[in-house]
Structure 1
Amino acid sequence: MKVKVLGIQLKFAAAMILSLLLSFVLLCISTGIYSFCSGNIHNYNYSFSRLRYASEALSCDLNKDNFKSIEDLKPIFQKYEKQYYLFKMNFIVTDGGDRVLYEFKKVSSSVNFLKKANEDTMRAYLDQGNDRITQYCDFSYAIPIKMDNRIYMLWITGIPYNAVMDTSFNWINKKGFVIMLCLSVFIFYIITLSKMKYIKKICRGLNEIAGGKLDFRIEKKGHDELSKIASNVNYMADKIQDKIKREEEMQRSKNELVTNVAHDIRSPLTSIIGFLEIIDRNQYKSREEKSKFLSIALKKARVIKKLTDNLFMFTKLESPHIKLNLSSICINDLICQVVDEFSNVFEKNNLQLTDSITPENMMVQVDMDMFLRALNNLLYNALEYSVKPSEVKVSLYREGHRAAIYISNSCDNLEERDVKMLFERFYRADRARSNPDNNSGLGLSIARSIIEHHGGSITSNYKDSRICFKISMAAEKNDIG
């Protein structure tokens, strides 16, 4: 099942949006509580501003002309009263003293009332300023006018209406943005805290691995880029650990190789030196004995040469740059040829070499010299370890698109662990029966390397006191039937 990966960028973006939404909700709740506790207040600032503007505009209009009578003023009063009808404006003309000469609307206003209203209006502006007027008072404004070459006083009155103001809204306008920003940052920090801790945990894990603790593993959390980083770091640690183990194994194998080669060379070399010293000191009894010693020394020298040849071949096969001279051959003919060549040798060792070859000719791509060496090593192994007398059988069959070669022989005292170790270099399953002069312990290992370089495989199976080696090679498609 494919796990859906949610990107960390998307997660952080979602966290930011969520933090903004939560901060806005919290701000709305807090302002609602504040509004409920503080309530609404009255604001007359707009009304006073409009009335004062109307009064000043009227003053400008009246100063443009020299009016003859009050009747000339009435059209102007009507225009302003209609334009500012919300404020129920009234216009009162006095003689400059306490006598009222004209009222646009008959409300029986006294000059003292007008003066007091004017004082209240001015006091409201002085005490609270033009920004906000929250206490109600009647509006009154006095304008000197010239009429029939005499100076009169025009009083303009109005009733300010109440504009209810929500204090919580005003509070939001002034402080809400700052509070919302702080809440967003705090909520974002809380939401992303676990991710930041996980990042620090990954960093600590990297430091542990860099410090040499290759068995340290970072816990995988979630399905985002951070979890991918943790998985890749753990994978990297596994690969480094495996590489170090392989290098240690290679070093151990090299040490074993040097030790085994030194051991296998030392024994025949010691014999050669011993026999040559006898001959050099003329300590032999007869010419026949001298000839015998020389023959033994020569045989031991050939053992050393065989060992060094096998060691050279093994080292060559270990190289990744080895090149094979491939050619197409009929594997049936090759197996028949090898069996014929080894038949006499096996008969001399009280062994019967038989074959069972399919009549269907199969063509394979092989390096002839290399492949023959692999077959020879397997047959020499059977010659060395077979129970005598017994039968050694070589078979060739087609298995699908592959050619299968079986070489089996009887043997005893072979255990399961021996079967698994047969292809290891310098391994001898039965050291008591094996002859170091004839067996270097590299034969099967070389055979396996050769077959694998050809793209094939070689396996072993032990059953009913018989060991069977199977070689599987790819057969060409244009086989001749």
Structure 2
Amino acid sequence: MRYKIQVRHVTGILVGAASGKFVYDEMDLLARYLKMKGIYSDTDGLRFFGGLLALAVFGVVCFLFSKYGKNGLGNYLLLSVVVSLAVVIALVFLSGFAIQVPAVQKAVREMTEQQGLLISGILYIIFVVLIFIFVFSFRFLVKSKVNYIQYITSEVRQIEKNGFGRQIKVKYQDELAELSLGINNMSLALKEKQDREKEQEEQKNRLIADISHDLRTPLTSIIGYTELMKEDGFSDKEKCGQYLEVIDRRLGNMKTMVDQLFEYTRLTQSDYHLNLQPVKLNKLLDYINFEYGSILKNMDFKWVMEVEFQDTVILADEERFMRAMGNLLDNAKKYSRPQTEIRLDGRKRKDFVQIELSNELEDPDKIDTTCIFERFYKGNQARLSEEGTGLGLPIVKKIIELHGGTIGVKTLDRRIVFTVEMPLYKKESAR
């Protein structure tokens, strides 16, 4: 595994070395003092102990800096201070070496004796220069960080001006990098939220337009027949009965549409939850076989149900699941060719059950399987048709998805096949 040296490691080494050197020098001074006073003569042993203590301090400091890596910016600033001080100290040591040259010492001594005030001024100037060197070194070292902070500020202003979704270039591996990543994640999340809200707003507008379109037809028909009843009066009971029959049928269509719209809206709400309970799937399918099988047979359809599992348990909201299967069967009944086979097959897989419902279509070319689960889709029928609301299959899809299942559709020859897959109930997963 490749080990990457970071700022905190360099800082730890420099601070550790300086600390160790300080400890060793202090122990050396202590040994000299004790020897001078005659208290302790074994100075070599004390210096050896000082060396061990210095190594220990060096190791501890390096370990602490390498362990607490989250404070990368603080470590970098500390490193800048250490390096700046090192530059100043190095200049001081170089000056000290220069002063030890005999010619320089003689010149300094003569100048001090003759021009003491001037020397004092020079010393102050040197002190100021050292401070300037320290500040310049520190400023040079932190310049990249300051520039990056200014870059982040500029990018945040661009995000504020142009909208979310803009990304900041991530540099380094410290708190500034974490800040940049946080801003990027926030920008993307808010962009997705804005897009989602925009899409929901567009869907709401389309839904309102579709509802208005589909409700206008029966309302127009009801108003028209009501006007005819007003004109003709109730003298012609036969016509009046026909008008009332049409009005009643139109009102029934409107009620069905409003009921399905209410159900679909409720299912798509984020706070809607199913009442999931362990249910035997065979029990539900037997009920479907009894109720719908009888209806379909009376309508001259050939009803076939073949199930390859027994005592299979799924986690389901019984009422909602039966509603979904009922919508699928109503769809099959409505769009099947007369006197053809409507078939339901059930199979058990490893972790799920598969239910297939198929029927023969009069005109398969009218069905676009890629759009069949969209709201208000009615094949290639005119929207004025009153044969359906276009919400039955979207309701089925939403119910199945709320159960954690999936539904798909395909056409095979002249048949349309709906495939529902539901996860098996597992006691350990429900705990």
Q: Are the structure 2 counterparts of residues 128 and 461 from structure 1 closer, same or farther at C-alpha, using a change threshold of 3 Å?
A: same
1:301 to 232, 251, 255: 251
Structure 1 stretch displaced more, 188-197 or 384-393 = 384-393
1:105-151 Cα shifts (integer Å, max 9, x gaps): xxxxxxxxxxxxxxxxxxxxxx958989xxxxxxxxxxxxxxxxxxx
Query: Which aligned pairs between 1:35-434 and structure 2 lie closer than 5 A?
Result: 39-41=104-106, 128=113, 177-282=127-232, 287-347=237-297, 351-386=301-336, 390-411=340-361, 412-413=364-365, 418-432=368-382
Question: Which structure shows the higher helix fraction?
Answer: 2
TM-score (norm: length of structure 2): 0.71
Structure 1 stretch displaced more, 198-207 or 335-344 = 335-344
CA deviation after TM superposition for structure 1 residue 29, in Å = 4.9
Partner of 1:451: 400
Matched position secondary structure for 2:316 = strand
Give unmatched runs, 5+ long, in structure 1. 46-126, 133-166
CA deviation after TM superposition for structure 1 residue 331, in Å = 1.2
1:8 to 57, 73, 83: 73
Matched position secondary structure for 1:39 = helix
Question: Which structure shows the higher strand fraction?
Answer: 1
- Contact kept, 8 Å, 2:375 with 2:394, in 1: the verdict is yes
Letter in 2 for 1:470: T
Matched position secondary structure for 1:407 = strand
Q: Are the structure 2 counterparts of residues 424 and 179 from structure 1 closer, same or farther at C-alpha, using a change threshold of 3 Å?
A: same
Matched position secondary structure for 1:281 = helix
CA distance in 1 between partners of 2:269 and 2:385 (Å): 26
Structure 1 stretch displaced more, 19-28 or 366-375 = 19-28
CA distance in 1 between partners of 2:425 and 2:160 (Å): 50
Matched position secondary structure for 1:360 = coil
Q: Are the structure 2 counterparts of residues 456 and 352 from structure 1 closer, same or farther at C-alpha, using a change threshold of 3 Å?
A: farther
Matched position secondary structure for 2:167 = coil
CA deviation after TM superposition for structure 1 residue 306, in Å = 0.2
- Contact kept, 8 Å, 1:456 with 1:472, in 2: the verdict is no
Select the structure with the greater relative contact order (CA < 8 A; seq sep ≥ 6).
Answer: 1
Q: Are the structure 2 counterparts of residues 414 and 299 from structure 1 closer, same or farther at C-alpha, using a change threshold of 3 Å?
A: closer
TM-score (norm: length of structure 1): 0.64
Matched position secondary structure for 1:258 = helix
Letter in 2 for 1:355: M
CA deviation after TM superposition for structure 1 residue 224, in Å = 1.4
CA distance in 2 between partners of 1:351 and 1:172 (Å): 113
Q: Are the structure 2 counterparts of residues 181 and 257 from structure 1 closer, same or farther at C-alpha, using a change threshold of 3 Å?
A: same
1:324-344 Cα shifts (integer Å, max 9, x gaps): 444443211211221332235
Matched position secondary structure for 1:214 = coil
1:255-311 Cα shifts (integer Å, max 9, x gaps): 111111111111112112222322332279954343233222211110000001001
Larger Rg: 1
- Contact kept, 8 Å, 1:343 with 1:353, in 2: the verdict is yes
Give the length in aligned residue pairs.
358
Give unmatched runs, 5+ long, in structure 2. 7-68
Partner of 1:438: 387
